[in-house]
Amino acid sequence: MHVPIRDPETSTVANDSSGFGILAGVLIPGRGQPISKAALIVKDDIIEWVGPESEIPAQYQTFGFSRIPVLMPGMWDVHTHFMGADIVAPVTNFVPSFLPGTAALIGAVTVDDLRATLMAGFTSVRELGGYAGDVFPAVEKGAIVGPNVYSSMGILGITGGHSDIHELPLSTVKHGCSLGVPTQVCDGVDGCTSAVRQMVRRGAKVIKICSTGGVLSLNDQPEDSQFSPAELRAIVEEAARSSRVVASHAIGKNGIMAALDAGVKTIEHGMYVDEEVISKMKEKDAILVPTRHIVEGLAAGAEDLPPKVRVKVERLLQLSRDSLKLAVKRRLKIALGTDTFSSDRKHAISHGKNAKELLYAIEAGMLPLEAIEMATAIPPETLGRQARRAGQLRAGYDADMIAISKSPLENIEILTNPDNVTHVWKAGVLYKSPPVSFV
C-alpha cells in the first residue's frame, strides 16, 4: 500500500486524529529479533499494529506516517532517586532534607530532572526512595513533563541501618518520616508491617527495603545483614497483600540470601553475587539490578568522598564488576538500574545519563540486543502487577517509543547521548522531536 510520509513538525498531510504510523528502517521490539523496513501503528495511546512496511493493513491508509531510521521502546531505569542532591546538599549529606522548605526546593529541582530523564529516552522509572513519587501527579495531569514514575516513596530499614540518618537524633529521623522525608526506620514484625502499610497509603507502587548496610550511611557496612528473617518475611507478605513486590538494597551475601529466602523480587546492587546466589535467584525468579553506573561514578570522584565512604567504594568496585560478569555469563535476569541521584548536570551520576548503564552491561559480556531487553522488556517485571503493559513494541502495549538517529545494535554508545534520541513518545504523545530550522 502507498502511505503518505510526513515530517512530524512540517506535515500538512491530513491525519486521522486518533492515530498515526511510523515507518522505521529498523524496529527493535524490546524482546525478539529486530524487523527491518518496519511499520508501527498507534491508536490513541496504544500500539495497535507492528509489522513489515509492505504489509500495513488498508484501514490505516488515512493515518499520517513519519519515517525514522530506528525505532525502539522507551527505556526504563528501575533504580533512581529524585532528591535534588548536589543542588540542595552534596550526595553524601541527607541532613538538609529534614529542614522546613527543603521538600519544595527538591520538588522544584525534580521537575527538570524528570524532563531530562524523559528527553534521554527513558519513558518509565522506578524510584526506590525519593520525591518523584510526590511530584508524579503533576506529570499525570500534564502540568509538567516526565516519565512514568513507579515510586516506593520511602526506603524502609532498621534503626541504625542504611535508611537511617546516623548523624541526626532518632526522634528527628522518625519525625521526618512522618512528614514525608523518603526514609523510614522500622523494627520488629509489627513495626515492619505497619511501615509497609504507611508506604502503600502514601502511594508506593513497590516497597523498598535495605537488607544490608550501605555505602553512604556512616555507621554500618555493606556486608552487614539488616532485618531479621521474620521481619523480611513480614514485609514481603504485607506487600503481597496489596499486590506490591519488594526491592531490596542488598550488597553483602548474607543479606542477599535472607532477602531471597523471604521472597524479595529484586536484588539492588548485589556486589557479592556468586554461584550460590545465582542458583537461588533463578529458583525464585528474582531479578538483579546491578547499578554499575553509581559504583563507577562514585569511584571516579573518590577523592571528594568522605574517607569512610571512599574506603567502601574502593572495596566494592572490582566486586561489582565481577558479579555482573558472572550474572551475564549465567544468564540471570537483569534489569537496567543506575542509582542515579545527582541533580548537578556536571556530576557523573546526574539525571539524564541513565543509559550509561548499558555500557557496563556490554563490558560484562551482554550483546547489544540483550542490553536493550535489559532496558525495555525486562524492567516492567520488577514491578509485579503494578506495571503498565509497556517496554515492548507489540500490539496492545503502551505507545512509549523512542526514535534513534543510528542503530544501537552496532554501537550501544549511541543511546548514551540524548542528542541521538531524536523523538520520544509517551502514551502516543510526542514529547521530543528534532528542532525545526527556519531560513
Residues that bind Zn ion (CB under 5 A): 339
Distances (CA, A) of 82 to 133, 173, 214, 415: 9, 19, 18, 22
208 catalytic residue (yes or no): yes
Judged by beta carbon, residue 82 or residue 431, the one nearer Zn ion is: 82
Out of 134, 164, 208, 253, the active site residue is: 208
Provide the residue type at 7 as one letter.
D
Whole-angstrom distance, CA of residue 53 vs CA of residue 50: 9
- Do residues 312 and 275 lie in contact, with contact meaning Cβ atoms separated by under 8 Å? no
What is the Cα gyration radius of the chain? 22
Q: Running DSSP on this structure, what letter comes out for residue 126? A: E
Q: How far is the CB of 245 from Zn ion (least distance, A)?
A: 16
Q: Which of 113, 339, 398, 400 is catalytic?
A: 339
Strand residue runs (E) in 290-379: 340-342
Asked whether 89 and 114 are in contact (CB, 8 A), the reply is no
Determine whether 322 is an active site residue. Answer: no
> Taking the complex as a whole, how short is the minimal distance between the CB of residue 403 and Zn ion, in angstroms?
30
Residue 388, sorted as left (phi over 0), alpha (psi -120 to 50) or beta, turns out to be beta
Q: Which is nearer to Zn ion, 48 or 339 (by Cβ)?
A: 339
Q: What is the DSSP letter of 422?
A: E
Q: Which three cell numbers stand for residue 434?
A: 528534532
Closer of 53 and 339 to Zn ion (Cβ):
339
Q: Beta 421-426 vs 401-404: how paired, if at all?
A: antiparallel
**Least Å distance between CB 266 and Zn ion?**
12
* Closer of 339 and 398 to Zn ion (Cβ): 339
Q: Which is nearer to Zn ion, 85 or 403 (CB)?
A: 85
Of the candidates 336, 315, 318, the residue with the CA atom closest to the CA atom of residue 326: 318
**Measured from the CB of residue 128, what is the shortest distance to Zn ion in angstroms?**
5
Least Å from the CB of residue 269 to Zn ion: 8
Q: How far is the CB of 163 from Zn ion (least distance, A)?
A: 10
Whether the CB-CB separation of 54 and 2 falls below 8 Å is answered with: no
Q: Which three cell numbers stand for residue 238?
A: 504485607
For residues 192 and 199, the answer to whether their CB atoms sit within 8 Å is no
Q: Cell 566494592 appears where?
A: 316
Q: In this structure, are residues 237 and 269 in contact, taking their beta carbons and an 8 Å threshold?
A: no
Closest CA to 365 of 409, 408, 407, 321: 321
CB atoms within 10 A of CB 103: 19
Nearer to Zn ion, 210 or 412 (CB): 210
Cα 211 to Cα 214: distance, rounded to the nearest angstrom: 9
Q: Please, which residue, 164 or 339, has the CB nearer to Zn ion?
A: 339
Closest residue to Zn ion, based on beta-carbon distance: 339
Closest CB 1 distance from Zn ion, rounded Å: 49
The residues assigned a catalytic role are 208, 339
